[in-house]
Structure 1
């Protein structure tokens, strides 16, 4: 699988963070992990988990 770099603005990051917070509230951290595991790599998943854990 090739790496694709995405340019994200601060506004994009805030929107993504808000979306992840909402998803975590709705389906819980484990649900979010299951959802991410369907289509993301382990590295991305770990980064997402770190971000979620730091928020709490």
Structure 2
């Protein structure tokens, strides 16, 4: 996983957490759900990047 990918995924995760907390604080369920979705997308991207890294380690490419 490149440093740029890690940064982008972490930024998306943090953005999602912020949205979720703001949504919860303001009782905005749509914003809260949007934040949770952003976090889920970031998690999926991170898992994909980890799988690519593992495949590289196994194959050496």
The normalised TM-score by structure 1 is 0.40
Bigger Cα Rg: 2
The normalised TM-score by structure 2 is 0.37
